[in-house]
Homo-oligomer: A and B are copies of this chain.
Amino acid sequence: MAVLHFHIDKTASAPLFEQLCHQIRHFAHQSLTQEVSRGAMAPFRLPSTRALSLQLGISRATVVQAYDQLTAEGYIESKQGSGCYLCPVSHSELNPPSSPLASSHAATPKPHAAQAKPLLVPGKADMSLFPHRQWAASVAHVCRYQPQQLTLCDDLFGQWDLRQEIANYVKYWRGIDATPEQILITAGSTAGIALCFRTLAKPKIQVGIESPCYAAIHRHAEDTHLHIDDLPIDNHGAQLPNANTRLAVITPSHQYPLGGAMHPQRRQAFIDWANHPDHWLIEDDYDSEFRYAGHPIPALASLDHHHKTLYLGSFSKLFSNQFRLGYLILPPTLITPFRQQLQSTSTSATVMPQQPLAHFLREGHLYRYLRRARRHYAERYRYLVQLLKERASRYGKPAIHHAGMSLVFHLNPDIPDKQVAERLSRHAVNPIPLSRFPSNDGEYNGLLLGFTHYSFDEIEKGIERLIAELS
């Protein structure tokens, strides 16, 4: 069994809190390496916050803060009445096999040769962390006990059991109080936005959309023949809509693609704006599960006591984009209009994963997976930031927000992002240039970099290629 030896240097420039976090993370990985030959690491009980503060001669508040942070990152699990534990981590979780599909594809005579994995692609879940066996067990459970629920659903809003579990999930993660009646299952978040536009917006009305924003939102607004009121992003987040706008779509937890959380004052201003009979606010909370420092930011919907905010969540970032499942949380007054809309257009969501996902949530598998993924992504996030600061600061500046599944590297004005991306793509390195996002003014010049589904080596290889193209 590994033994804890922490050394805190009160004269160092790094804050005590950071030193302690660093050492506990380091210990978790070191003991993992020692335990690897014996299989998965057993849960390791940490000293109480009081005992550790006495041992190290630092304040107990610092220890509590560090434990909180590491709990958020997934290193620590606290068990009621029995203290805090370093989480069991299996070797395979930290060292994903190079091709998780290799074995199951062996018998398939596929014509395509495996292509080089494109580097720096943003926003993809690392599916080697995904608990495939537990998911298969949840699916198999439904096959055995509720086979008809794989194909049938008698409610246009989706399977009741899943809506109940989502109500618990958003209460836990996002502080949102919602009943299952308010929850509507959609085919991912863009299908959810398209449904909102069709239900709430008459053609020709004006909808406020962040500038820049996710391209699909812009496209759906155009498809629905809405006028677009561009909401530029300043240092508090998206600016308020103009007087004629009826509906606004915002990403207050983590602006896409720029990153950054909306300032509390701006949030309140949006809530006040929405408190008008003709106004509605759509909160697109596409990846709020991934924050790597500090406390989670509550969902804007949880603060809107006037019930004028529609909350949009997605499982795409947790499963894969091909999973195609998300949800809308509707204010109670909108339940009937959305039902009527679905009666004429039918539902977009596939029924098959719904009952299995309810089981998977109920069993706690998604929560455990999320904690693991958050820790994994946080390490890669820090590594990417470090590389950019150390090696690429001549060419631009990373936007540090400690959250999300992508990172913006703002390029110096004399380096056009599209040309860099074009040159990189010839080497299978595929960040997204900021200027490709729908934006009013085109003032953004930078690259949206991915890190979540790469090894440290792959991240470094991508950055080296980037630097080679920049210099």
Q: A300-326 toward B: CB 8 Å interface, digit per residue (1/0)?
A: 000000000000000000011111110
User: Measuring CB to CB, which residues of chain A are less than 8 angstroms from any residue of chain B?
Assistant: 100-101, 104-105, 108, 110-112, 127, 130, 132-133, 135-137, 139-140, 142-155, 160-161, 181, 187, 223-224, 319-325, 346-353
Docked-complex contact B147 and A136, CB < 8 angstroms: yes
Given contacts A108-B160, A110-B155, A132-B151, 7 further A-B contacts (CB under 8 A): A100-B148, A104-B149, A139-B140, A152-B320, A152-B322, A322-B349, A323-B350
Docked-complex contact A127 and B151, CB < 8 angstroms: yes
Q: How far is the CA of A148 from the CA of B100 in the complex (A)?
A: 8
Given A187-B187, A352-B323, A143 contacting B137 (CB threshold 8 A): yes
In the assembled complex, how far is the CB of residue A111 from the closest CB belonging to chain B, in whole angstroms? 7
Nearest residue (CB) in B for A353 is: B352
Q: Most chain-B Cβ atoms within 10 A of its Cβ — which of A112, A148, A161?
A: A148
Collect the chain B residues with CB atoms within 8 Å of residue A149's CB: 101, 104
Docked-complex contact B108 and A161, CB < 8 angstroms: yes
Q: How far is the CA of A349 from the CA of B191 in the complex (A)?
A: 12
Docked-complex contact B351 and A153, CB < 8 angstroms: no
Collect the chain B residues with CB atoms within 8 Å of residue A101's CB: 148-149, 152, 154
Nearest residue (CB) in B for A316 is: B346
Docked-complex contact A151 and B137, CB < 8 angstroms: no
Contact of A350 among B100, B104, B322 (CB under 8 A): B322
Given A181-B111, A187-B187, A322 contacting B140 (CB threshold 8 A): no
Collect the chain B residues with CB atoms within 8 Å of residue A151's CB: 127, 130, 132, 135, 319-320, 322-323
Docked-complex contact A140 and B144, CB < 8 angstroms: yes
Nearest residue (CB) in B for A156 is: B322
Q: Could you give 16 example pairs across A and B, Cβ below 8 Å?
A: A108-B160, A108-B161, A110-B155, A127-B152, A136-B144, A139-B150, A140-B144, A151-B319, A152-B320, A187-B324, A321-B346, A321-B347, A324-B349, A324-B350, A325-B350, A350-B353
Nearest residue (CB) in B for A111 is: B181
